[in-house]
A and B are shown apart, each in its own frame.
Chain A
Amino acid sequence: MNEPAIKISNVSVKYRLAKEKPKTLQEYVIHRLKGRRIDYEDFWALRAIIFEVDKGETLGIIGHNGAGKSTLLKVVAGVLKPTDGNVKVTGKIAPLIELGAGFDMELTGKENIYLNASILGLSKKEIDRIFNNVVEFSELGEFIHSPLKSYSSGMISRLGFSIATEVDPEILIIDEILAVGDERFNKKCMERMTGFKKSGITILFVSHSMDEIKRLCDRVLWLDHGRQRMFGDPKSITEEYQKL
């Protein structure tokens, strides 16, 4: 229990917004020939974020829209490289940032399971091993051999969720619990999530529901305009947040 699962050291993420940025080679050349410099405006999506998440801990992340929550998740998932600072993640990550990333409508459910799981970094042997469990949890039955374009949106979400959670991650990143299916299936998902908590999986959880945060999280990070406003006890922080 010494090594934290996630270690964020002084992480900042800067987006460079160029005013009138030439988007084509043609514009760029003309721009340079005219001797014009490009004016940049720096937007810091995250500024000097410092925290650690221990193994098996569930960290909630709250903040208004645009506070930098998704950016932070992307930094942890390895999608974005921080402009400053360091990210250290120990363990395999399954991001539920969008279910079914990479799903191809023309391919069958089975083919998409292999595609999606390989996007999450699994080898063929590992996918073979989890395949039956995925099909079972998704409750898709024979539909698994039909192309995805014949699926309803609920079926697609169920498949996405099943794959991401069967991947057996050590760290789960959830960007707002998406409505995955009907009442009954959502209950199954919640059960699985609490099961994860019990088995010691580290969870990063973004939500706007203070009830869920208080119920599931061990600690909370409150992001405000890219800065770390509060970090610690869920009850007190959510209370503060709701005061606003």
Chain B
Amino acid sequence: MAEALKEAVEIIKYKELLRNLVARDIKVRYKRSVLGFLWVMLNPLLMMLILNMVFSGLFGISTKNFTAYLLSGIILWSFFSQSTSTSVVSFLGNSNLIKKVYIPKAIFPLSVVVSAMINFIFSLVPLFIIFFITGTSVGPHLYLLPAILIMVAAFSFGISLILSTLTVFFHDAQYIYEVLLLAWMYMTPIFYPESIIPQKFISIFHLNPFYYFLSIFRATLYMDIPAIPEKLFFCLLFSLTALVTGWFLYNRYKDRIVFYL
């Protein structure tokens, strides 16, 4: 317990490193690309356009504000999937550093989550522009936006800690997670409205933590959905559980990590 607290203090001491790691990630990622940082905003937009054509054009789904529905799902999911799938290999990938210098290791998955968070915030810009263009009005719960952002970040960080620690000992965890993530994505109503889920499967979908994060996120932005307090409670529950589990698992095994790199 005390060890876990000490580790948290250590990470705060290394906040300059955190800043540099995030800066490095952003700079290196976009240094060579023609569109540079604009790509952060363009990517979800293009995805949304294609998915819009497929789902409403081809499959004839006609949900109200489908564009906003799609885009909000895409950018929130991207935040989560990007942070977790990049974090999976963050200890393995930084083995040269970890073996040579003392660093509080959790800083690596943390920097990944922070980078993803910055990308996420930037992609809110085209989101609101699209809202304006398509005439989707912002809902009454916009004040919840910081809360949902923090909860999804905490959830992502917790999962990242679990995955990155696990992958050190079991290298195939990254591949298993890749597949798991894909299935998870389809189990979350990102591209399709909840209404098309068959009645008998609804309870399974309600076991998905991301279902709650996404519902609240959409409610925050433009929709007014039923049962907001209950859904908020589940969001809090899942994010805290992931964070606490991840933090304790990491602290339990962190001293052994260097022996396996």
Contact = CB atoms under 8 A, between A and B. Distances in A.
Interface of A: 15-16, 23-26, 28, 74, 77-81, 93, 95, 97-98, 101-102, 104, 106-107, 111, 114-115, 118-124, 127
B33 interface: no
B130 interface: no
B179 to A, nearest CB: 12
Interface of B: 13-14, 16-17, 19-21, 23-24, 27-28, 31, 96-103, 170-173, 176, 255, 258-259
A114 B31 CA distance: 18
A102 B173 contact: no
Contacts of B31: 106
A98 B100 contact: yes
A188 to B, nearest CB: 24
B4 to A, nearest CB: 15
Contact of A119 (B13, B17, B27, B176): B17
Nearest to B94: A102
Given A26-B172, A115-B21, A127-B16, 6 more contacts: A15-B259, A23-B170, A24-B171, A78-B102, A79-B98, A118-B16
Nearest to A122: B16
Contact of A118 (B17, B98, B99, B259): B17
Nearest to A127: B16
Nearest to A124: B16
Contacts of B23: 111
Nearest to B18: A118
B176 A25 contact: yes
Nearest to B27: A107
Nearest to A16: B259
A80 B258 contact: yes
Contacts of B14: 118, 121
B27 A106 contact: yes
B101 A115 contact: no
B161 to A, nearest CB: 18
Contacts of A93: 102
A187 to B, nearest CB: 26
A105 to B, nearest CB: 9
B171 A107 contact: no
A95 B97 CA distance: 12
B102 A77 contact: yes
A95 B20 contact: no
The 9 closest A-B pairs by CB, nearest first: A78-B102, A24-B172, A118-B17, A118-B16, A81-B255, A25-B170, A115-B20, A101-B100, A118-B20
A122 B21 CA distance: 14
A93 B31 CA distance: 34
B33 to A, nearest CB: 13
A26 B100 CA distance: 31
A114 B17 CA distance: 8
A127 B20 CA distance: 12
Nearest to A147: B31
8 contacts: A79-B99, A79-B101, A79-B102, A104-B28, A107-B24, A119-B101, A122-B16, A127-B16
Contact of B171 (A23, A95, A118, A123): A23
Given A23-B170, A23-B171, A24-B170, A119 B24 contact: no
A107 B97 contact: no
Contacts of A107: 24, 27-28
B173 A25 contact: yes
A24 B173 CA distance: 7
Contact of A77 (B16, B19, B101, B259): B101
Contacts of A95: 100-101
A4 B18 CA distance: 32
